[in-house]
A and B are shown apart, each in its own frame.
Chain A
Amino acid sequence: MGLKLSALLLMVGGVAFFGSPILGQTPPASDSAKTDESRCLTRSELIALKDSRSVVAEAALAAGLFADARTTNTFAATLMKEASEQVEGAKASLGDREQLTKLLDSALGKLASRDAEALRGISMKLFSIERSNGQCS
């Protein structure tokens, strides 16, 4: 534990005082030569994926609670609208990722119908893609 903490402090120190050496070591992610879906996600794509995965999961939770009469209609409608806007934004950032944009299109439909179960499933799929991209770094 102590070693890990020291390593972390050293890394932060390194970044702070010598620019960003760690930035140089990380993501081969961004400019991989692989194509389309098998290609590693770029930094901005990964951020969009993580954001949309969480937003869809948040919407799933809200939809489930609304179905159980634990939130108001106004609250659920406002949250779904906000979630839709964020998913649309993420979709734009993931333009040429067919699998991901299809999933997000599907999420947009389920947000409109407040389908908690389907939204949860989509969120899990997005999470699994996110995890598999972890092998790129």
Chain B
Amino acid sequence: MGSVLELTLGIMTAMGGFVDVSELVFAAQAGSRFLFALIWVFALGTIGIMVFGEMAGRVAAVSKQPVFNLMRQRLGLQVGLLTLVGAVIVNGITCAAEIGGLAIVLQLLLGWPYRLLAVLVTTMLIATIWILPFKGIERSVGLLGLFMIAFLAVTAAIDVPWKDVALGLIPSTPRAGSSMDLLSYAYFVVAIISAVIFPYEVYFYSSGGIEEGWSLKDLPINRVTTIVGFALGSLLAISLLVNAAVLFSAKQIDPQLPATVALQAAIPFGKIGLLLALTGMFFAFAGAAIETCLSNAYCIAQFFGWEWGRYRGKAEAPRFTVAWLATFGIALAIVLTGIGPLDLVEYAVVSSILVLPLTYFPLLLVASDEKYMGRYANGIFANVMGWLFFAIITVAAVAALPLFFITAGGKL
């Protein structure tokens, strides 16, 4: 019974913690702009994060080593340091985008000044990590993020052309359009893959496995959580896209204001729907802010061989504590400069895709190494999927910057 409860909570946490500000923005813009034509990218990206998430959890449970330790061992000091710098920048920008998103959600609820709310939100996030144990943090924000189900309820309530939605699962390009439209479409493909397979997710997931003392007996839970939890989380993201295609596209809306996404719930359900959607967005962003911030501290501490982990207590791992506090401080400073969360999301997604290959290459090497992993090394299926997705993210990484500049971040 205990393990069933554990499994259910794990799945729900993975589902509630799946969507962050970048997925929210890109899903809504993708639906408004290209209707259902980008659903397959969410499905593809979700399979990718399932493959790498399962691998990272398995390696953590078998070797008791998190991803960044392995990265330094396998990539060597110089490339490892390059990856660390990239990961820290991406995590910092993403954390700032989440804090900005949180401040906007609170502003929509309370009407208070944006910068004041950014400071209050950061204080609240620091207090959460300071007070709660790791599992408490993970479970509370993950489960409260389930308020995002409000968006699935919207999909159920509105008139959706389900045949077109199903066709969206087949890779295709938009029917009519200029070459610039096609390039923007390609930019969205790259950005969505990046947003779904954000590297911080595996840093956090594998370090979380160590925090929770995973062992071989946790391998089935790891597998079911990554597959079922991420699949359900992906449904939330796809529902945002479908809602935007149905409710926004014909009105010439390509959401430029984060508030507009919440309006999806106000259309069928009024103020109650709006409140539930904003609550879901708040906890989804809060979860991602905590994950990105802790991921930064994990990466830095693991790379330099410091004591790390919330399970150790603050006095036992002082440099780790300073690292996550500093990440919040820098992220808040970025928000206070006035750069909007949507701009930060763009920068985070584009820079993230550049770090992805360097993150997943060493993970693949280790997970498929039979000397290291013994009988828990990748089988043929995991290896084929792993290298296939590695090829996809490498192509995406090469194309990301040119597409970003040519299409002005998908705006043209």
Binds A, one of B8-16, B71-79, B252-260, B291-299: B252-260
Could you jot down 15 A-B contacts, CB within 8 Å? Answer: A5-B172, A8-B182, A12-B399, A12-B403, A15-B183, A15-B403, A15-B406, A46-B412, A55-B256, A57-B253, A61-B251, A71-B274, A75-B259, A82-B259, A120-B251
Q: Which of A26-75 contact B (CB under 8 A)?
A: 26, 43, 46-47, 50-51, 53-55, 57-58, 60-62, 65, 68-72, 74-75
A26 to B407: give the CA distance in the assembly, Å.
Answer: 11
Among residues of A, the one whose C-beta sits closest to the C-beta of B172 is A1
The reply to whether B270 and A74 contact each other, CB–CB distance below 8 Å, is no
Say yes or no: is A106 at the interface (Cβ < 8 Å to chain B).
no
Residue positions of B touching A, CB distance < 8 A:
107-111, 171-173, 178-180, 182-183, 185-186, 248, 251-257, 259-260, 262-263, 266-267, 270-271, 274, 398-399, 402-403, 405-406, 408, 411-412
B411 touches A50 (CB 8 A): yes
CB neighbours of B259 from chain A (8 A)? 58, 62, 75, 78-79, 82
Q: A51-B411, A71-B271, A78-B108 are in contact. Are A22 and B179 (CB under 8 A)?
A: yes
For the complex, give the distance between the alpha carbons of A50 and B184 in Å: 14
Please determine whether B399 and A82 come into contact, CB atoms closer than 8 angstroms.
Answer: no
A12/B183 in contact, CB under 8 A: yes
A132 within 8 A of B: no
Q: For B257, what are the chain A residues with a Cβ–Cβ distance below 8 Å?
A: 55, 58, 79, 82-83, 86
By a CB distance below 8 angstroms, the chain A residues around B406 are 15, 20, 22-23
Q: How large is the interface on A (under 10, 10 to 19, 20 to 34, 35 or more residues)?
A: 35 or more
Chain B residues with CB below 8 A from A58, complex form? 253, 255-257, 259-260, 263
Please tell me if the beta carbons of A62 and B260 are within 8 angstroms of each other in the complex.
yes
| Chain A min CB distance to B244 (Å) | 11
Complex Cα–Cα for A65 and B253 (A): 15
Nearest Cβ in chain A — how far from B79, in angstroms?
22
Q: How far is the CA of A78 from the CA of B411 in the complex (A)?
A: 24
Please indicate the chain B residues that have their CB under 8 angstroms from the CB of A20 in the complex. 402, 405-406
| B183 proximity list for chain A (CB < 8 A) | 11-12, 15, 22
Alpha-carbon distance A21/B198, docked complex (angstroms): 30
A70 touches B267 (CB 8 A): yes
Q: Is the interface of A mostly helix, strand, loop or mixed?
A: helix
Which A residues are CB-close (under 8 A) to B255?
A: 54, 58
- Bound form: Cα–Cα A58–B398 in Å: 34
A15 and B111: CB pair below 8 A? Answer: no
User: Given the interface contacts A26-B179, A62-B263, does A79 sit within 8 Å of B108 by beta carbon?
Assistant: yes
Given A11-B182, A54-B254, answer yes or no on A70-B108 (Cβ-Cβ < 8 Å).
no
A56 to B404, CA, bound (A): 25
Task: Please determine whether A137 and B408 come into contact, CB atoms closer than 8 angstroms.
Answer: no
Tell me if A109 is interfacial: C-beta within 8 Å of chain B.
no
- The answer to whether B109 and A57 have CB atoms under 8 Å apart is no
Verify A50–B186 contact, CB threshold 8 A. no
Among B109, B171, B182, B251, find the residue whose CB has the most chain A CB atoms closer than 10 A: B251
Give the CA-CA distance A62 to B274 in the complex, in Å.
Answer: 11
Interface pair A47/B270, CB less than 8 Å apart: no
A100 in the interface (beta carbon within 8 A): no
B179 in contact with A69 (CB, 8 Å) = no
Known interface pairs A16-B402, A127-B252; A47-B408 also in contact (CB < 8 Å): yes
A residues less than 8 Å from B408 (CB atoms): 43, 47
Query: A124 vs B253: C-alpha distance in the bound complex, in angstroms?
Result: 11
Decide if A71 touches B111 in the complex (CB within 8 Å). no
A25 to B183, CA, bound (A): 13
Q: Within 8 Å CB of A79, what residues of B?
A: 108, 257, 259-260
Q: Chain A's nearest CB lies how many Å from the CB of B104?
A: 8
CB <8 Å contact, B403 and A74: no
Kindly state the separation between the CA atoms of A82 and B253 in the bound complex, as whole angstroms. Answer: 15
Q: Which residue of A lies closest to B400 (CB)?
A: A16
Pairwise interchain contact A75-B274, C-beta atoms closer than 8 A = yes
Q: In the assembled complex, which residues on chain A have CB atoms less than 8 Å from the CB atom of B251?
A: 57, 60-61, 120, 123
Whether the pair B186, A12 counts as a contact (CB closer than 8 A) is yes
Q: Is the CB of B274 within 8 A of A51?
A: no
* B172, B263, B405, most chain A CB atoms within 10 A: B263
- Chain A nearest CB from B381 CB (Å) reads 26
Is the CB–CB distance between B172 and A74 below 8 Å? no
Inter-subunit contact A43/B256 (CB<8 Å): no
Q: Which chain A positions have C-beta within 8 A of B412?
A: 43, 46-47, 50
Nearest CB in chain B: distance from A109 CB, A: 19
